[in-house]
């Protein structure tokens, strides 16, 4: 049987995970004042495989990377202040962190989730 995080959550280690670093900054401030935010993104196994064209999901595959970036951005939320911008700094493939909380910060209709670290 595949390990799951909780009885009511279908998460498994076979799902696709990525770690994303985002940068939130004010348009008028220098880059040194930027806030960095780390996010773990989970995409359910079947959806990740579909995005990868049936192959192994990797962040370098455009559709996979795009979905990861979108979920990460949704996880931290869109700024209400128009002078704030959120940019993706880096995205890397990852494994399911052992200490991942049961409750995510964001969950989409397709089961994709994001956690702010």
pLDDT in tens, 11-48: 888 899 999 999 888 887 766 667 899 999 999 999 99
- 4: CB partners within 8 A, 6+ apart: 10, 11, 12
> How many other C-beta atoms are found inside a 10 Å radius of the C-beta of residue 13?
13
Higher pLDDT, 7 or 18: 18
CA 16 from centroid of its chain's CA atoms: 10
Tokens standing for residue 111: 């089961």
pLDDT at 7 over 50: no
Cα angle for residues 65, 68, 70 (degrees, 5° grid): 110
């Amino acid at each position: 049987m595949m390990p799951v995080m909780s009885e009511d959550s279908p998460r498994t280690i076979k799902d696709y995970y990525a770690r994303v670093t985002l940068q939130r900054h004010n348009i008028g401030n220098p880059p040194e004042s930027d806030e960095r935010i780390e996010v773990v993104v989970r995409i359910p196994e079947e959806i990740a495989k579909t995005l990868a064209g049936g192959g192994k999901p990797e962040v370098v595959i455009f559709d996979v990377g795009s979905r990861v970036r979108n979920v990460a951005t949704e996880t931290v939320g869109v700024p209400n202040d128009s002078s704030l911008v959120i940019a993706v700094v880096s995205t890397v493939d990852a494994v399911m962190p052992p200490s991942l909380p049961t409750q995510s910060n964001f969950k989409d209709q397709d089961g994709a989730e994001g956690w702010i670290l």
